[in-house]
Amino acid sequence: MASVEIDDVRKSFGNHPVIKGVSVAIEDGEFVILVGPSGCGKSTLLRMLAGLEHISSGEIRIGDRVVNDLPPKERDIAMVFQNYALYPHMTVADNMSFSLMLAGVPKAQIQERVKPAAEILGLSSLLERYPRQLSGGQRQRVAMGRAIVRDPQVFLFDEPLSNLDAKLRVSMRTEIKNLHQRLTTTTVYVTHDQIEAMTMADKIVVMHDGIVEQIGAPLDLYDKPANLFVAGFIGSPAMNMLSGKLDEADPSRFVTGDGIVLPAPPGIASARGKELVYGIRPEGVSLGGTVDLKVQVIEPTGSESQIVALLGKTQVTCVFRERVMLQPGEILNVSIDPRAAHLFDAKSGMRLTD
Ligand SMILES: Nc1ncnc2c1ncn2[C@@H]1O[C@H](COP(=O)(O)OP(=O)(O)O)[C@@H](O)[C@H]1O
Ligand SMILES: [Mg+2]
């Protein structure tokens, strides 16, 4: 196991910059997820960690070694790709053993490593099968098994669950997290799915267009997004956002562009006079109160009611634990806890609340 340091790393393809100065410190044993929209540079950054892509400038350290110029096989990492890249003509056992065989590890020793890895992954009874005889989830596990037997310093995963159906994705999420808790190998995991990031990571790195928008523990990002991008990206349904300003005479009142008054979070002198965006998560709205919503769509999930409604002219989404029996077009009275509200500078996008 090892720490990983990414220090002001940049990458251009031709003269097109793709990674624009990224720094991330990953502790030994940590499970870190790089998340961001498609095309933001996640795979490129991961491939640079793996040594599959040269870096244009900056430094990458694994443990106490600078690995900028080390070839992949000398970096002591194991990577699991989105398409698994299994060898179709080899059995599960051979797929898992192959890299060790190439490295000249004696046969008996290979057996000793494959057996427990297969057990951990529930593959023991499938060792003689070929990839085409496996389900998507089983193939995914073989790809992980191949990484595990190498006992690397660092695991790298690039969207390993995106080829699986929704239900399997959820159970594999749990399996991978459980596996990390057992092996405690430093892991860097790439996904575009913020739920995957929230549920699995010790630490999330939110990327956007080649830069890091914010780094933090999942709930810290959720509770205190540093800017509008992170606020909109993390959380599902997404945070509701309303444009407006604080009332000049009474800064405890936020007034939207269409004149609706909402309770402002306390004590943010820096917000006065500015064009603002008021953010409130769907569960930050409660039933009963003086704010009127005009109901558009009610989506009961059984455990919750999700309501899409108009607040003035802005469409908002609310999630209530209670069952709401209303028809579209009816008015729903709600309240907003000002401590659950976020204020952002509309121009810079930066968070103003603590
Ligand atoms: N080999 C390459 N040559 C040129 N451009 C590339 C290459 N690989 C990736 N890119 C570009 O770099 C950007 C980031 O790609 P990528 O790291 O794959 O994004 P992500 O994994 O976040 O979806 C994209 O605009 C992509 O088109
Ligand atoms: Mg990618």
Given this model, what pLDDT does residue 172 score? 86
HSE-CB for 302 with a 13 A CA cutoff = 0
Ligand 1 center to residue 4 CA distance, Å? 22
pLDDT of residue 123: 92
State if residue 40 touches ligand 1 by the CB under 6 angstroms criterion: yes
Please check whether residue 30 is in contact with residue 215, taking contact to mean a CB–CB distance below 8 angstroms.
no
Return the residue whose CA atom lies nearest to atom 2 of ligand 1. 13
Q: Which residues of the chain have pLDDT under 50?
A: none
Cα dist. 79→49, 50, 60, 209 in Å?
10, 7, 17, 23
- Is 39 close to ligand 1, i.e. is its CB under 6 Å away? yes
> Please, which residues have CB less than 5 A from ligand 2, an ion?
43
Full set of structural domains in the chain with CATH: 4-230 (3.40.50.300), 237-345 (2.40.50.140)
Question: For atom 1 of ligand 1, which residue has the closest CA?
Answer: 13
pLDDT computed for residue 283 by the predictor = 96
Angle (CA) 41-161-128 rounded to 5° is: 130
pLDDT of res. 84: 82
> So what's the pLDDT on residue 47?
96
User: Is residue 127 within 8 Å of 163, Cβ to Cβ?
Assistant: no
Give the largest Cα separation in the chain, rounded.
Answer: 79
CA of 44 to the centre of ligand 1 (A): 6
Q: Is 176 in the pocket of ligand 1 (CB under 6 A)?
A: no
Determine if ligand 1 sits within 6 Å of the CB of residue 256. no
Ligand nearest to the CA of 37: 1
**Ligand 1 atom 4 nearest Cα:** 13
Residues 47, 4 contacting (CB under 8 angstroms): no
- Rounded to two decimals, the pTM is 0.94
Find the 82 Cα to ligand 1 centroid distance in Å. Answer: 15
Give residue 6's identity as a one-letter amino acid code.
Answer: I
Closest among 80, 41, 79 to 206, alpha carbons compared: 41
Tell how far the Cα of 39 is from the centroid of ligand 2, in angstroms.
Answer: 7
Strand-pairing partners, residue 336, are 285
